[in-house]
Amino acid sequence: MWGRSQQWGPMTTKEKPEFNDEFSEAEFFGFAKSYLSEAFPNPQRVGCPPDSELQRMAEQPVETRDAAASQHLTRCSPCFNRYMEILANLRRRKAAGQ
Ligand SMILES: [Zn+2]
């Protein structure tokens, strides 16, 4: 063993990646969430899947079938927010044991 961290230490202090270990998945998700919830306003709801489709996707996601809709979520803030809301409701229902 060479002490890899000691070798790299002096070189990386200047450009230390802030999020390497501490940037958890939850934090990343939180970031993506706040970003996506505002980045793509779509007041006319152009190209949006119906609410029932978002519900179905949240309850029983099927990757191949939902590919288009889930892609849409990454480009449409209103749908993304709605989907998050549905997921939160589902989680609450599950937590309540129903
Ligand atoms: Zn949409």
Q: How many Å lie between the centroid of ligand 1 and the Cα of residue 7?
A: 49
**Token pair 């007041």 in the structure block, residue:** 43
Q: How many Å lie between the centroid of ligand 1 and the Cα of residue 69?
A: 8
Q: How many Å lie between the centroid of ligand 1 and the Cα of residue 1?
A: 53
Q: How many Å lie between the centroid of ligand 1 and the Cα of residue 32?
A: 17
Q: Express each pLDDT in 18-50 by its tens digit.
A: 555 566 888 888 888 999 999 999 999 999 999
Angle between the 51-59 and 77-95 helix axes, to the nearest 10 degrees? 50
Q: Is there a contact between 35 and 44 (Cβ–Cβ < 8 Å)?
A: no
- Residue 89 has what DSSP assignment? H
pTM: 0.70
Residue 29: both structure tokens together = 């998700």
